[in-house]
Structure 1
């Protein structure tokens, strides 16, 4: 029997100044949010069990450690929404995804309207989520969330049109699509849920750059951590796979290359965050500083959740987080061999 290839997983946030912090309302909100999501029976019981093991509420509580109980419940619900939509859309063709997207966006724009009789339950699921959320989210954050969620769902439809493993992208076109379907920007809109940040400040060049770098940091981290399970089941829409196919790299070389891209983004994010301009008053400067810190905590949250939940490494996450090594999983025999193991 051959010895499995052992891959090194770099510590992507070794020098990240924002520590792991969790919302004190996590346990209670997790229980409520999980029960709420399960009550809709959108996915089969086995799939719901897997989603529960991935613990969407943990990501919410880590990413928004300072919000109050009601707001914590909203973000826990949000990540259940992501989980349901992501996992369900993976099994749909573009036409079916578009039908869901139309329902989802209508429910977000009309949270107090009854859903049509006979409509797929995703409509009431989203309406229930958003009608609760708007009670505790600032007006500007609500509109930004809807705008960004619209862009996100359109990107998911676009990705569904390029699922064929032979239809791959160069680095720039791949990242352009990935930035949209990672779902970070809608979640970032809720970092302002407690206040109305003026549009000219929210779209200041420095904050735009920080959000752009933050999205790319998350995209690269998610692709690196998800690569092993994705290549095993034939989901080759992944940056590591792209580097293997188009840069003549083996798997470890591709992981190291992708990690270097991540390191550059971290350096750029930290440089901007440490040299923010003044926005005209101490109060506004403090507000902007809090927003930047929220982005920093979000990035740390995603990294911690990747190992602490079942999402990418199942029960082996804590060990991999500590030791930074993982065995390359065998690829399903019926799939084309596109990954070089050495």
Structure 2
């Protein structure tokens, strides 16, 4: 007698978000350029590179920055590739190796004209070339803000590695604070600002900080709900909102999903209300602030759309799952920790769905 396959139901929590899906008209052209650049590093073996390509990070950036200039779209696409190669490389390494990798990345992003030492992780050179190109077209104000948020992000990757290696799942309050750094949300908002001149007293005004945090929290919710199946299948779900909520409240997956839905409703309401209370910073700055806020408000929509349109989380079933909202849960399997660096395995969802050999 066979048991029925379990499913995860994901409600359409983005149905009422006011910002519609839009995509940059240069998506295919600039994505191809960025992909050729990334492949030149041979960061993955062919099988894993093919799986990485199916994630379509060019689509993610093109949905995120639909009005960007050509050069800033390229920055956004390159940045997505940088984020996810860091993610794939560090997820399977012990803490000392992760620290070494992140030290190289931090040095490279702050010193893009300095040659990388021989024998260093390829992450250093990937980051160096990215920063060298990206920072050329960014305003001084945007450069400072990006470097701060990117550095905070990669440092938090070490914290996540420490928790993973120690089998530690943070409490919910700590988790939400940590995820505001390690979900990559803050630096992902930076391409929205590359052409703007927002002084620190504006960028760090409490109102803008709160609005930015709302978007970053929404990124956590959307990412963690859609990535949960992939992560639990490879026993990499310790830093997922659903896992943390299940543990915090001693509830099941449906209970955790209901909590996440309420959290999303509260955060999105705070953002929409906060937009009504943005102070004036003067006639020169106010239009830039309004443009910036409209651009970052697009991020939850972009992430929602990309999650179904790419093959990262749902494989070939993405558009079908977008309609049915039913996700067939994958069997859990041990991660292949023997494959690291360029040998790291980037999984296809279809591969994870295969029966586990006895």
Q: TM-score range by the shorter chain?
A: over 0.9
Aligned counterpart in structure 2 of residue 239 of structure 1, from 241, 253, 256? 241
Aligned to 1:198: 199
Aligned to 1:139: 140
Q: Trace 1:69-84 onto structure 2 (pairs within 5 A).
A: 69-84=70-85
Aligned to 2:226: 225
Gaps of 5+ in 2: 336-358
SS of 1:135's partner is helix
Q: For residues 180-206 of structure 1, give each alpha carbon's deviation from its aligned partner in whole angstroms, at most 9, with x where no partner exists.
A: 110111122232101211111111111
Deviation at 1:23, TM superposition (A): 1.0
Is residue 307 of structure 1 aligned with residue 308 of structure 2? Answer: yes
Is residue 274 of structure 1 aligned with residue 276 of structure 2? Answer: yes
SS of 2:18's partner is coil
What is the rounded CA distance, in whole Å, between the counterparts of 1:18 and 1:330 in structure 2?
Answer: 36
Is the 1:78–1:129 Cα contact (8 Å) retained in structure 2?
Answer: yes
Q: Trace 1:15-54 onto structure 2 (pairs within 5 A).
A: 15-54=16-55
Aligned to 2:123: 122
Q: For residues 70-105 of structure 1, give each alpha carbon's deviation from its aligned partner in whole angstroms, at most 9, with x where no partner exists.
A: 111111111111111011111111111111111111
SS of 1:134's partner is helix
What TM-score do the two structures reach when normalised by structure 1? 0.93
SS of 2:303's partner is helix
What is the rounded CA distance, in whole Å, between the counterparts of 1:261 and 1:148 in structure 2?
Answer: 24
Is the 1:165–1:236 Cα contact (8 Å) retained in structure 2?
Answer: no
Q: For residues 315-339 of structure 1, give each alpha carbon's deviation from its aligned partner in whole angstroms, at most 9, with x where no partner exists.
A: 11111111211122223389xxxxx
Aligned to 2:253: 251
**Number of residue-to-residue matches in the alignment:** 333
Deviation at 1:165, TM superposition (A): 8.2
What is the rounded CA distance, in whole Å, between the counterparts of 2:167 and 2:97 in structure 1?
Answer: 22
What is the rounded CA distance, in whole Å, between the counterparts of 1:244 and 1:203 in structure 2?
Answer: 34
What is the rounded CA distance, in whole Å, between the counterparts of 2:214 and 2:324 in structure 1?
Answer: 27
Q: For residues 184-235 of structure 1, give each alpha carbon's deviation from its aligned partner in whole angstroms, at most 9, with x where no partner exists.
A: 1112223210121111111111110001111111111111111112122212
Aligned to 2:295: 294
Is the 2:10–2:327 Cα contact (8 Å) retained in structure 1?
Answer: yes
What is the rounded CA distance, in whole Å, between the counterparts of 1:109 and 1:273 in structure 2?
Answer: 33
Deviation at 1:133, TM superposition (A): 0.9
Aligned to 1:61: 62
Q: For residues 8-32 of structure 1, give each alpha carbon's deviation from its aligned partner in whole angstroms, at most 9, with x where no partner exists.
A: 2111211111111111111101111
What is the rounded CA distance, in whole Å, between the counterparts of 2:279 and 2:220 in structure 1?
Answer: 27
What is the rounded CA distance, in whole Å, between the counterparts of 1:272 and 1:57 in structure 2?
Answer: 31
What is the rounded CA distance, in whole Å, between the counterparts of 1:277 and 1:143 in structure 2?
Answer: 23
What is the rounded CA distance, in whole Å, between the counterparts of 2:275 and 2:203 in structure 1?
Answer: 14
Deviation at 1:119, TM superposition (A): 2.7
Gaps of 5+ in 1: 335-342
Is residue 99 of structure 1 aligned with residue 77 of structure 2? Answer: no
Aligned to 1:331: 332
Q: For residues 251-309 of structure 1, give each alpha carbon's deviation from its aligned partner in whole angstroms, at most 9, with x where no partner exists.
A: 1121111111111111111111133222222x422211111101111221111111111
Q: For residues 235-254 of structure 1, give each alpha carbon's deviation from its aligned partner in whole angstroms, at most 9, with x where no partner exists.
A: 23211112223312121121
Is the 2:75–2:191 Cα contact (8 Å) retained in structure 1?
Answer: no
C-alpha root-mean-square deviation of aligned residues, in Å? 1.6
Aligned to 1:207: 208
Aligned to 1:339: none
SS of 2:137's partner is coil
SS of 1:28's partner is helix
| Deviates further, 251-260 or 160-169 | 160-169
Is the 1:4–1:327 Cα contact (8 Å) retained in structure 2?
Answer: yes
Seen in structure 2, the aligned counterparts of structure 1 residues 4 and 207 have a Cα distance that, compared at 3 Å, is: same
